[in-house]
Amino acid sequence: MATGEKPLAGQVAVVTGAGRGIGAAIAQTLAGLGAVTVLCGRSPARLIETARAIENPKNRVETAECDVTALASVEAVAKRIESQHKRVDILVNNAGIGGFGKPLHELAPADWDRVLDTNLRGVFYTIRAFAPMMIRARSGHIINISSLAGKNALPNGAAYAASKWGLNGLSYSVAEELRAHNIRVAVVCPGSTHTDLTPHEGKDASRMLQPADVAHAVAMLVTQSPQSFASEILLRPTMKP
């Protein structure tokens, strides 16, 4: 890397759920590190707004409307990126929705499907679509944004917890599948983070993690030495909110 060159210069990063919150913070960080960063999400207007806030003469960002619960939508974005850039170096699976407030026996099956389809099935779809490009290049990072709810009990949030426990298991297994191809798969499990997704009732927002804290963890993962493989980060607020 030339002196003064950004550490991710020449690389292409894809971030799902990048229109706001943690995804937007991750996209901003990766673009600042030099990657061409593709912001994916279901709301084109929100993606464009976020891209405008990130883009400057030193940061190159693109937007791609994408519904991770629809395989055809994910495959269309992958095909576009392969056509335009010939590569993908970083995939951050951040798209996710909550499902809080009801015990499991009162949860509508449609709500269960909505949470699992976004938080877990969507990650399967993106890995299925993008991993082949990384395998051909024998290089890449896949980072799945999970939650401490994937480690601990979450009463009245069983569907969300199940999706994140499942995401952790998926991540550990895929990491072993792809290590031989020099692809590192990691999972980041944040605790209470100040976003629209996290219930804030009774919590001090100033003590909660901020989206930039999660983005910092992602930056550490994608800039580690080639011989290093940090596979999991558990991220907690310094003080309980």
Domain-embedded: residue 127: yes
Structural domain boundaries, residue 86: 12-235
Candidates 20, 18, 9; CA nearest to 58 is 9
Domain-embedded: residue 36: yes
Domain-embedded: residue 129: yes
Cβ–Cβ < 8 Å for 202, 186? no
φ, ψ at 181 (rounded to 5°): -100, 10
Candidates 167, 181, 184; CA nearest to 220 is 184
The tally of CA atoms less than 13 A away on the side-chain side of residue 213 is 18
With a cut of 60, say whether residue 201 has pLDDT above it: yes
Catalytic residue annotation: 160
- Tell me the CATH number at 175: 3.40.50.720
Q: What pLDDT does 72 receive? A: 98
With a cut of 90, say whether residue 206 has pLDDT above it: no
Q: What pLDDT does 202 receive? A: 63
Q: What pLDDT does 1 receive? A: 55
58-98, pLDDT tens digit by residue?
Answer: 899 999 999 999 999 999 999 999 999 999 999 999 999 99
Q: What pLDDT does 204 receive? A: 81
User: Within 10 A of 162 (CB to CB), how many other CB atoms are there?
Assistant: 20
Q: Out of 176-180, 189-193, 236-240, give the one with best mean pLDDT.
A: 176-180
Candidates 5, 59, 2; CA nearest to 32 is 59
Per the prediction, the chain carries an average pLDDT of: 94
151-172, pLDDT tens digit by residue?
Answer: 999 999 999 999 999 999 999 9
Q: How many domains does the chain have?
A: 1
